[in-house]
Structure 1
Amino acid sequence: MYHYLPHLIGKPNALKPAIKYSKGRLGASIVMGIPTIKRDVDSYLTKTLISLVESLTTEERADCLIVVFCGEPWDIPYCQSIATLISTKMSEHVNSGLIEIISPPAEFYPNLDNLPATFGDTVERVKWRTKQNLDYSFLMMYAKRRGTYYVQLEDDIVTKTGYFSTMKNFALNQKSNEWMLLEFSSLGFIGKLFKSKDLPIVVEFFLMFYRDKPIDWLLDHLLSVKVCNPEKDSKHCQRSVSELRRRFKPSLFQHVGTHSSLKGKVQKLKDRDFGKGVVRNSHFNPNADVSTTLKNHQRFTLDKAYQGENFFWGILPKKDDLVIFEFNPPVSVEKYLFRSGNTEHPGDKFYNTTVEVLPNDHVEKLDGPLDNKERQNAFPRTDDGFLILNHFSHETGLAEGTIGSALGEIHTLRLRVEAPSDTWVILSEIYIKATPR
């Protein structure tokens, strides 16, 4: 850091907040960073915080941290007033540790009056985006030890109910851990989620070029530098970057502000994906090999549904069609929930469909008697040794229940169609809760 900000040498306090309202919450799943500065016209900060907090469940409020960063280090009274406003209007959440307010010291910033002009921007704009890069960097450095993931937001957004668990489960359900960025909005630097352990390299890259380009451009360059091979073509580069940068749709955040923090700039950008569809109830399901005899429609695959990225859409179920979840390794299943149909296609449900399991200790004994007579009496058994637990409801399209430890570890769970259907089928929610090992 001192290579890029040499003025900080000998100033250890320059990396500590000048203002800090904090209960010291640690171990959050997601830390949300919200930078804010003075706006000449409207302030959206309070509405943004209300939208974020009111869209959280009680459990989610205990599992996250919202850090408001007041980027006016030369106007301490203003930052104090912001802290007082938030502490008054949202006292419950400040007192619980959900919301923190910080402001950086003025000495963190170098002289911003003699910056090189780039891209034909005005002196005022160059100074504004350069300081913005430093604001983001300070905020990320502050947040990096507070949680597992960090998501960058802005102070003029609204969100969808369920956004927190959707982000968390989308991150946890990634098959490969080679990603560096998950995006939950298509706009600028909104809804960008990083692993906290990656923040040091992200910040270092930003500080290398903080004078040169806007923050979202620098992020693009960082990803390219990491994986693009100069000896390969642009298509290879794009494919490589797509492994690092993964997009969730529909967007979870919408930009609502029209007046930018840059004086005189009107910002009318809207995320077109925000209004498309509803947030799916995605879950962190146990590792499983998933397969189905149903043909999927377009990109609506079972694999993506299991990961919470999309729903599964199957074409005209026939008798004995299967949806299979083979756990690897076998797991003890506490409960399960399968929801079919959705708001746009409420009739595309599973009809005449059972939920069945194959306990692990039955795998090599499918032609023999069950070890436990009580289990045998409790559940009907299929010809191939599966126990029938439940049926989908014709009215709700839902199948849910508890299993607990009575059946031991489960090798396979499946859905089996007992009669042909004249409608397609949507599996919009898959939730299999396994007992931790």
Structure 2
Amino acid sequence: MVRIKTSRKCAFVLLAQFLAIGYFVISTTSSDKTRLRVALENSADDEPETPLNQDDNDTPKGDKPSVAQNTSAYDTDIVIGVPTIKRPTGVVYLDDTVRHLINNRGKFVRLVVLIYIAEEDAQWTNETARSIEQSFSKEIDAGLIRVITPPKDLYPNWDTDMKITLNDARHQVKWRSKQNIDASYMMEYARGLNTKYYLGIEDDVIPVADYLDRIWQHANEKWSENIIYASYCPLGAIGKLFFNKDLLTVSTYLRTFWNYKPLDWLYFDLKALVACGYPRTDCETRANAVVLEYPDSLFTHAGKVSSLVKNES
């Protein structure tokens, strides 16, 4: 029998109605099978089935990353957000991306890979959750990987609440607007995990070896009060790192302007928003000063098929 747990740990101050999180803790009664923690409350009409059953008396494993003793003010050092949705051709890059994230992390241990199945298709969500459980059972059991899905009330009514902006086609506006909402939600979830940093990527990228050690050293050495985010990849919104105390600000900003611009454009505008006054003299220089740029790209965009369905009306 599936047991539902309700948590408000990740609620927005301004947007709490969108961020109430429900958890399904999934396990089997057999000792040789792992437990997969998945939030299966989503906006699909049909409630997703659970891949496995859980006994009500079972205590889930992996509630916190436990590979190193916590001696800091944070429960984990970095949460890596990996959103994934169904691609029109059915191709899946997620397994390769997650495997490289795990295998290339070097000696870095205090992290959580947060896989966000950002789909409204319940069947695809269940199939993806099962696939992740089969591929990464040990990592899930250790708390290294978490899997979540959107709560039912996360997204707006696309027909009545969404405006057509930038003269884009309706399906493109929806695609990029949903990406903004998903990014905002993942930041709030990561903030609830009490992480020091949140790193946003995509589900079709490959990190270089020891990428986390390099990010950790660079961020800790270079970060200052005026920095709003750091960039470890020049491509779009990939590889952007945010400090814990800025997550509420940035996630609220994205949720506020979800309908207006693509995610990477909103990040670009955020620089000027926090750095420039009025009149806007020398704004470009000031804006660039609040972003910590790493000299090399630590991520390669390997996907060949976009999640955007280009031929929709």
TM-score (norm 1): 0.55
Task: Give the secondary-structure state (helix, strand or coil) at the position aligned to 2:237.
Answer: coil
- What whole-Å deviation, never above 9, does each CA across 1:213-261 have from its counterpart, x for those lacking one? 111111122221111122243xx21221222101102100011112111
CA distance in 2, matches of 1:94, 1:2: 27
Q: 1:106 aligns with which of 136, 146, 152?
A: 152
2:168 to 121, 129, 133: 121
Following the alignment from structure 1 to structure 2, what is the Cα–Cα distance between the partners of residues 178 and 241? 10
1:66 aligns with 2:113: yes
Where 1:32 maps in the other structure, the secondary structure is: strand
Q: Which amino acid in structure 2 is aligned with residue 133 of structure 1?
A: N
| Residue equivalent to 2:287 | 241
Distance 1:136 1:232, change over 3 A: closer
| Correspondence 1:143 to 2:148 | no
Q: CA deviation at 1:180?
A: 1.4
Structure 1 counterpart of 2:278: 230
Distance 1:125 1:32 in 2: 26
Unaligned runs of at least 5 residues, structure 1: 266-437
Change (3 A) 1:98 1:133: same
Task: Establish whether residue 50 from structure 1 lines up as the match of residue 99 from structure 2.
Answer: yes
The CA distance in 1 between the partners of 2:225 and 2:14, in whole Å, is 30
SS at match of 1:100: strand
Shift in alpha-carbon separation, 1:178–1:2, aligned structure 2, 3 A: closer
Higher strand share: 1
| Contact persistence 2:115–2:146 (CA under 8 A) | yes
CA contact (8 A) 1:19 1:101 kept: no
Check whether the contact 2:222–2:292 (CA below 8 A) recurs between aligned residues: no
The equivalent of 2:300 in structure 1 is 254
Bigger Rg, structure 1 or 2: 1
Map residues 73-84 of structure 1 onto 2, 5 A cutoff: 74-84=120-130
The higher-RCO structure (CA 8 Å, 6+ apart) is: 2
- Structure 2 length normalisation: TM-score? 0.76
Q: Equivalent residue of 1:229, what SS?
A: coil
1: CA distance, partners of 2:12 / 2:103: 40
CA spacing shift, 1:230–1:33, aligned 2, 3 Å: same
The structure-2 alpha-carbon separation of the partners of 1:240 and 1:218, relative to structure 1 and needing over 3 Å to count, comes to same
- TM-superposed deviation, 1:66: 0.3
Aligned-partner Cα distance in 1 for 2:222–2:147: 32
Structure 1 segment 182-197 matched on structure 2, within 5 A: 182-197=230-245
Distance 1:32 1:208 in 2: 23
1:15 offset after TM fit, Å?
A: 2.0
For the residue of structure 2 that corresponds to 1:117, the secondary structure is coil
Q: CA 1:4/1:126 → structure 2, altered by over 3 Å: closer, same or farther?
A: farther
Distance 1:112 1:17 in 2: 23
Counterpart for residue 131 of structure 2: 85
RMSD, aligned CA = 2.1
Distance 1:175 1:141 in 2: 21
**Aligned partner of residue 192 in structure 2, secondary structure:** coil
- Residue 18 of structure 1 deviates from its aligned partner by 5.8
Matched residues in 1 for 2:280 and 2:94: separation?
Answer: 45
Question: Partner letter of residue 249 of structure 2?
Answer: I
Aligned match of 1:30: 78
Q: How does 1:4-15 map to 2 (within 5 A)?
A: 9=17, 15=20
Amino acid in structure 2 at the alignment position of 1:52: L
Shift of 1:51: 1.1
Q: For 2:199 and 2:256, locate their aligned partners in 1 and report how far apart those are by CA, in whole Å.
A: 21
Look up the SS of the partner of 1:201 in the other structure.
helix
The structure-2 alpha-carbon separation of the partners of 1:175 and 1:225, relative to structure 1 and needing over 3 Å to count, comes to: closer
Structure 2 unmatched ranges of 5 or more: 1-10, 26-35, 38-61, 66-74
Residue 262 to residue 88, structure 1, CA distance change in 2 (3 Å)? same
Task: Give the 3-state SS of the residue equivalent to 1:251 in structure 2.
Answer: coil
Separation in structure 1 between the aligned mates of residue 272 and residue 118 of structure 2, nearest angstrom: 29
Is contact 2:165-2:259 (8 Å) kept?
Answer: no
Please tell me the residue identity of whatever aligns with 1:220: F
| Sequence identity percentage | 31
Q: 1:201 aligns with which of 238, 249, 266?
A: 249
Measured after TM superposition, the shift of residue 178 of structure 1 is 2.3
Partners of 1:188 and 1:135 in 2: CA distance: 15
Structure 2 Cα separation of the partners of residues 199 and 2 of structure 1: 11
Q: 2 CA distance for matches of 1:94 and 1:82?
A: 14
Cα distance in 1, alignment partners of residues 248 and 225 from structure 2: 18
CA distance in 1, matches of 2:24, 2:127: 11
Residues 19, 184 of structure 1: alpha-carbon distance in 2 compared, 3 angstrom cutoff: farther
3-state SS of paired residue (2:310): coil
